[in-house]
């Protein structure tokens, strides 16, 4: 023997990383909340910050498979999948939606109420508003990831609904207007 100890050193190996996907609705992604995941038979309670983006990955250190020979556990990588919302589109922290107003409100001005992801909002419509006019509601968009109290903007595009089934009197009035 060459001097020294007869003990053999066992190499420590880090555990394997795990990958998981978590699907959230757009509304769920707006608020910080806790959710429990089951990974390899273990329940893991995580806090999902408001503003998480589609495709964003977060790492939970030590939640992968156990290490070998006393090595550290691997990590868990969670990829977020944010499902589409029928009325709102998200780009970064900004939200986009449409609001339908009637012809009379578009021509004469007035008010309309729209539904946002944070509740109803009353909007003032300027006289002679054109189809496709876009307005910005500052701070009514999506929360900024890990920045409490900060939100993007909500952009509303006006669509004008034309009247249908006009009475004879209404047709006469529109004809008179078109001849001016």
| Residue-range domains of the chain with CATH | 18-82 (2.60.260.20), 89-163 (2.60.260.20)
Across the range 49-70, mean pLDDT stands at 92
Residue 76: enclosing H or E segment and its boundaries? strand 76-82
pLDDT recorded at residue 136: 97
Across the range 51-66, mean pLDDT stands at 93
Angle formed at CA 93 by CA 88 and CA 97, multiple of 5 degrees: 20
pLDDT recorded at residue 2: 53
pLDDT recorded at residue 163: 86
Which residues touch 107 (CB under 8 Å, ≥6 apart)? 127, 128
pLDDT tens column, 74-113? 999 999 999 999 999 999 999 999 999 999 999 999 999 9
pTM, full prediction? 0.81
pLDDT recorded at residue 38: 86
**Residue 8 pLDDT > 80:** no
């Amino acid at each position: 023997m060459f001097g020294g100890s007869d003990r053999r050193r066992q190499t420590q190996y880090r555990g394997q990383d795990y990958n998981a996907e978590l699907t959230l609705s757009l509304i769920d992604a707006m608020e910080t909340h806790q959710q429990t995941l089951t990974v390899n038979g273990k329940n893991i309670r995580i806090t999902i910050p408001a503003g998480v983006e589609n495709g964003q990955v977060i790492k939970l250190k030590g939640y992968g498979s156990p290490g070998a020979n006393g090595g550290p556990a691997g990590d868990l990588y969670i990829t977020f999948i944010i499902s589409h919302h029928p009325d709102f589109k998200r780009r970064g922290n900004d939200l986009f939606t449409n609001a339908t107003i009637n012809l009379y409100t578009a021509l004469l001005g007035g008010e309309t109420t729209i539904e946002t992801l944070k509740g109803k909002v009353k909007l003032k419509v300027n006289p002679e508003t054109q189809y496709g006019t876009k307005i910005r509601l500052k701070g009514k968009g999506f929360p900024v990831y890990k920045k409490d109290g900060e939100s993007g903007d909500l952009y509303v595009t006006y669509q004008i609904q034309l009247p249908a089934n006009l009475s004879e009197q209404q047709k006469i009035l529109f004809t008179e207007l078109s001849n001016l």
